[in-house]
Amino acid sequence: MMSSLRARLQRPLVDLIIDASSIINLDNAQALELVAGLSDRTIWLSPLVIGECKPTCAARIVQLEKEGLIRFVNPESVSAETFLSLLETYDLGEGETECLALSLGHPYVMCCDDSKARRIGTKLLGPERVIGSLGLLKSCVSAELISPKQAFDLYELMKKAGGFLPLVASEWFSQPD
Amino acid sequence: MSKLANFLRNLDLTPDEIAVRARLPSERVRMILEGRDANLVELRALARALKVPLRMFVQKNEDNSDLALLFRSTTASRPDLGVENAAAFVQAAISIMPKRQSPPEWLSGFEFREESYEEAERLADAFRMMFTPNRLDEPLYDLPDLVVNLGGVILGQLESSRFEGASVISDGYAFIFVSPRFAGRMLFTLAHEIGHLVAHHREGRSVVFDLASQIGGGRRYKSKSEAFVDSFASALLMPARGVGIALRQIRKSFHIQSDEVGDIEIICLARLFGVSFDAAALRCEKLGLLPRGGAISLSEILRRNHGSPEKRADTLGLPKRPTIIIPRVSQNLLKAAGERINDGKLSLGWVTDRLACSANDVFAARSAPEAARGSHH
């Protein structure tokens, strides 16, 4: 326990930008609050993500923002030319492209559960700056917020709700990164 | 020059006009036109003002495709975001769905002869005989699922548009777009567009966009074609014998003795068959149950005395209209899109942008039981 706490305290604070695919997966497992509780991350969202969510999820996001557990990015910091170039080159959705554009201008770690967007994110940002909602659950296990079994149950809820997620076993959540 | 400046300079608008529409300072718009970089907030303001999706600023090929040009030529020169989105929807759907060589086979089962009331009745009866032979007289609340399950049909919604319905044949698929409205109205629009598919669309590519005034318009039709497909929709949703059986039961339930058909019977018919009061009243008029002009007169009286036919129905405590679900995007397309996302060929955001649906719609299609998907194509 102490070593884990020491490890957490030693970790640098990471700016994490989460796109709609991951937010919806996390919300489908009711895991938004859990992830927002990771002490070594500052969670950022585009305000547009709210429009993608169900009303209950949107309300939770607004509440978490009020509590200071998540923050909204400022789209004014994104250059239209960069955005349009990315949109034209990679043919992703507008939300995914916004996340990429923001991550090119700031050292965000991009959290996304879409396979194509992750592939492009990895190419442009490097693999160490791309993560998915399962990676966040794994971080919650590392931070001893939940057990590997609980992480697996949350993953199963996400899959059952239609999430685009890889097949993983329960043990995956307890393996080191 | 920047991509945005390039796009804006090709518009037939002055900097001040763009600024007013986008609610941006004129000076700022001039700077952007001179090549200064805009930010994402300004870009979105410009897209909203010009009624174009963001990708329009860069996607030259898609923008100028035959399909997009066909859509624009069909709907005249006035920009319409719904039309642009419908063109993108069709284009995306064709790229997602398996290739088809010819329009849906079931359409060839209809032999359209002429645009007459009798022919509309005959085609509607033929549709019922072919696809709902065991419930010829019953309401068709499941028409959205039914038509998709016939194969080769894709449903979408027509949002942010002055048009209320559209039907398209392209690349072997039949597309039907319905504007989000009150469910009874949407069901009628859907049936109206099926009428266009059955009677007016032929091989190759064709597009029909319908304004609200062209659907369920009583005697205000601008064209014989629209009157014809309205008659088809009316007969399909309210088959003559079904109306007769229902009317007899309604009159018995309410102990109505009068020889004339009144507002209560028509409200009940509307709710039973899942259509609007006006659609039910016009059907009664066509079937000779109301005098000529009676539908409009009754509707006006109810609006004047009760606010609306629906309020009158609620006051009388009449049974509610059943739930009719007309999906934003049909399950067959969402399911196919889910497979392409899963394979990493398309991104979830690309799909939701092009199909004007939410990520939750795509997720729900993947989590829906196989039996309820209706995934024929």
The residue whose two tokens read 């090929």 is B61
Quote the pLDDT of residue B221.
59
Given pLDDT bands bounded at 50, 70 and 90, which one contains residue B371?
Answer: very low
Distance of CA B8 to the CA centre of its chain: 32
Give, to the nearest 10 degrees, the angle between helix A20-28 and helix A55-66.
Answer: 100
What are the tens digits of pLDDT across the range B232-276? 999 999 999 999 999 999 999 888 888 788 888 999 999 999 999
Quote the pLDDT of residue B90.
93
Residues 6+ apart with CB under 8 A from B292: B285
The helix (run of H) or strand (run of E) holding residue A42 is strand A41-45
Tokens of B9: 């300079």
What are the tens digits of pLDDT across the range A44-80? 999 888 888 888 999 999 999 999 999 999 999 999 9
- Burial group, residue A115, by CB count within 10 angstroms (0-12, 13-18, 19+): buried
Question: Are residues B3 and A76, on separate chains, in Cβ contact within 8 Å?
Answer: no
Question: Are residues B40 and A116, on separate chains, in Cβ contact within 8 Å?
Answer: no
Residues 6+ apart with CB under 8 A from B250: B256, B264, B265, B268, B269, B272
Q: Is the pLDDT confidence value at B377 over 50?
A: no
> pTM score, two decimals?
0.87
Q: Is the pLDDT confidence value at A12 over 70?
A: no
- Report all structural domains of chain A as residue ranges with CATH numbers, in order of start: 2-174 (3.40.50.1010)
- Burial group, residue B264, by CB count within 10 angstroms (0-12, 13-18, 19+): middle
Tokens of A106: 């700031």
Distance from CA of A84 to the nearest CA of B (A): 7
Helix (H, G, I), strand (E, B) or coil at B165: strand
**Distance spanning both ends of chain B, measured CA to CA:** 45
Question: Are residues A94 and B349, on separate chains, in Cβ contact within 8 Å?
Answer: yes
Helix (H, G, I), strand (E, B) or coil at A131: strand
| Mean pLDDT to the nearest integer, B139-154 | 94
The answer to whether residues B126 and B110 touch, using CB atoms and an 8 Å cutoff, is yes
Residue of B nearest to A159 (CA): B367
| Mean pLDDT to the nearest integer, A118-140 | 96
Contacts of B4 in chain A (CB under 8 A): 80-81, 84
The two beta strands, B173-178 and B163-170, are antiparallel
Q: Which of residues 130-169 of A touch B (CB under 8 A)?
A: 160-164
Distance of CA B131 to the CA centre of its chain: 21
Distance from CA of B158 to the nearest CA of A (A): 18
Instruction: For B121, list phi and psi in degrees, rounded to 5.
Output: -65, -45
Q: Which of A109-118, B100-109, B127-136 has the lowest mean pLDDT?
A: B100-109
The residue whose two tokens read 């396979």 is A115
Distance from CA of B22 to the nearest CA of A (A): 15
Question: Are residues A114 and B37, on separate chains, in Cβ contact within 8 Å?
Answer: no
Given pLDDT bands bounded at 50, 70 and 90, which one contains residue B296?
Answer: confident
Q: Is the pLDDT confidence value at B113 over 60?
A: yes
Looking at per-residue pLDDT, the higher value among B155 and B69 belongs to B155
Distance of CA B160 to the CA centre of its chain: 12
Distances (CA, A) of B247 to B74, B189, B251, B268, B318: 41, 24, 6, 9, 14
Helix (H, G, I), strand (E, B) or coil at B125: helix
Residue of A nearest to B43 (CA): A80
Question: Are residues B44 and A75, on separate chains, in Cβ contact within 8 Å?
Answer: yes
Question: Are residues B350 and A92, on separate chains, in Cβ contact within 8 Å?
Answer: yes
Q: Where are the alpha helices (DSSP H) in chain A?
A: 2-10, 20-28, 32-36, 49-52, 55-66, 80-90, 94-105, 115-125, 133-142, 148-160
Select the residue from A19, A57, A84 to test the B interface by mutation, using most B Cβ atoms within 10 A: A84
Quote the pLDDT of residue A177.
72
Q: Is the pLDDT confidence value at A7 over 70?
A: no
Distance of CA B345 to the CA centre of its chain: 29
Given pLDDT bands bounded at 50, 70 and 90, which one contains residue B155?
Answer: very high
Given pLDDT bands bounded at 50, 70 and 90, which one contains residue A175?
Answer: confident
Say how far apart CA B277 and CA B284 lie, in whole Å. 11
Helix (H, G, I), strand (E, B) or coil at B326: coil
Residues 6+ apart with CB under 8 A from A35: A26, A41, A43, A133, A136, A137, A140
| Mean pLDDT to the nearest integer, B301-325 | 86
What are the tens digits of pLDDT across the range A90-112? 999 999 999 999 999 999 999 99
% of chain B exceeding 90 in pLDDT: 50
Quote the pLDDT of residue A1.
46
Contacts of A101 in chain B (CB under 8 A): 40
Quote the pLDDT of residue B212.
78
Say how far apart CA B41 and CA B45 lie, in whole Å. 6
Q: Is the pLDDT confidence value at B29 over 70?
A: yes
Quote the pLDDT of residue B217.
66
Question: Are residues A21 and B349, on separate chains, in Cβ contact within 8 Å?
Answer: yes
Task: Select from A87, A88, A119 the Cβ nearest to the Cβ of B344.
Answer: A119
| Mean pLDDT to the nearest integer, B120-139 | 95
Given pLDDT bands bounded at 50, 70 and 90, which one contains residue B374?
Answer: very low
Residues 6+ apart with CB under 8 A from B374: B145, B148, B149, B330, B331, B332
Mean pLDDT of chain B: 87
Q: Which residues of B touch A (CB under 8 A)?
A: 2-4, 37-44, 54-55, 57-59, 338, 341-353, 358-360, 362-367
Q: Which of residues 51-90 of A touch B (CB under 8 A)?
A: 52-54, 75-81, 83-85, 87-88
Quote the pLDDT of residue B64.
54
Say how far apart CA A16 and CA B301 lie, in whole Å. 61
Quote the pLDDT of residue B95.
95
| Mean pLDDT to the nearest integer, A112-139 | 96
Which 8-state DSSP code applies to residue B104? -
Question: Are residues A76 and B55, on separate chains, in Cβ contact within 8 Å?
Answer: no
Quote the pLDDT of residue B203.
61
A106 and chain B in contact, CB less than 8 A: no
Question: Are residues A115 and B341, on separate chains, in Cβ contact within 8 Å?
Answer: yes
Helix (H, G, I), strand (E, B) or coil at B77: coil
Q: Where are the domains of chain B?
A: 1-50, 240-315, 331-367
Looking at per-residue pLDDT, the higher value among A159 and B296 belongs to A159
